Amino acid sequence: MSLRVNPTKFITRLFRLTRLALHLARAVAIVAVCFPFYDDAQRMGWVRRWTARLLAILAVRVKVNGAPPVAGVSPAMIVANHVSWLDIFAINAVRKVRFVAKSEIRRWPVFGWLCAQGSALFIERARRHHTAHINAQVVAALRQGDTLVVFPEGYTSAGDVVLPFHASLLQPALACDAMLYPVAIRYTRADGSLCSEADYEGDKSMLESLLLMLTQPVIYAQLRFLPPLASAGMHRRELAHEASRLIAGALGVPAPRRRADKASGRRA
């Protein structure tokens, strides 16, 4: 039986919004003043601690099923369905990673700048030469032991569908025989129902998305790490389709077609 989830009170939302503003202000100060003197390990460690605090302020609890990739064992790439801008923070709370994100995120106020300082790689998918350039950087990062995360759907969804994957983003995995770790992401309310307040689908602005999240007493970020796929000897389209099929199966939704269809969500 589904329980009724009452939204948070206005004073609670205001308090959490104030905490969030202070958390962001502190991050800007530390990144601007301290990051030039931090090495990569110190930066990544600080980002993970800051991420955990961000999720706590937003009352987002990460629940993990399955085994994330082990650091330093072999080149590893995480591939996931894309529901929200929270995805990158939820995954980073579980495993130290780097992200490949759309170039528009870099222009987001505060968040975009922080993502750039946190070693995210930004891609302009409309420019094929830029995609090739970013892919070369991803290959180099994989070979030096970094775990990269990509969202190959090209759009965010409400979490009730998996869209066809763009295979070009998986090319770096093939170039260095990386293991591909599919991750199924879903956000739920306390009663187990799909949390539409957490998704970034449609025409929501960043602020609208954030304010909707604050109405929820708690949001559960469900991350299911599926058995890894070996990329060696596979074609990137086969790899993309198999990863999308596994993620769809884990979410209990139909697998996407091999040929990309026009999607209705937001460009990822």
Each residue of 200-219: pLDDT tens digit?
887 888 889 999 999 999 99
Q: Cβ-count burial of 233 within 10 angstroms (0-12 exposed, 13-18 middle, 19+ buried)? A: exposed
Q: Give Cβ neighbours of residue 51 (< 8 Å, ≥ 6 apart).
A: 89, 92, 93
Of 183, 182, 188, 180, the residue nearest 160 (C-alpha): 188
Fold observed for domain 10-267: Glycerol-3-phosphate (1)-acyltransferase (3.40.1130)
Q: What are phi and psi of 68, to 5 degrees?
A: -65, 160
Cα angle value 242/248/249 (rounded, 5°) = 90
Q: Distance between CA 143 and CA 124 in Å, rounded?
A: 23
Mean pLDDT of 239-250: 94
Residue 122 three-state SS: strand
Q: Cβ-count burial of 263 within 10 angstroms (0-12 exposed, 13-18 middle, 19+ buried)? A: middle
- Token pair for 53: 């605090």
In this structure, what DSSP letter does residue 239 have? H
Q: Give Cβ neighbours of residue 189 (< 8 Å, ≥ 6 apart).
A: 5, 195, 216, 218, 219, 220
The per-residue pLDDT for 211 is 93
How do the domains of the chain map onto residue ranges?
10-267
CA 48, 85, 219, 251 torsion-angle sign: negative
The per-residue pLDDT for 127 is 61
The per-residue pLDDT for 59 is 96
Beta strands in 117-243 (DSSP E): 121-123, 147-150, 155-156, 179-188, 219-225, 229-230
pLDDT at 266 over 70: no
Residue 24's pLDDT band, with cuts at 50, 70 and 90, is very high
pLDDT, tens digit, 9 for 90 and up, residues 75-95: 899 999 999 989 989 999 998
pLDDT at 3 over 60: no
pLDDT at 129 over 70: no
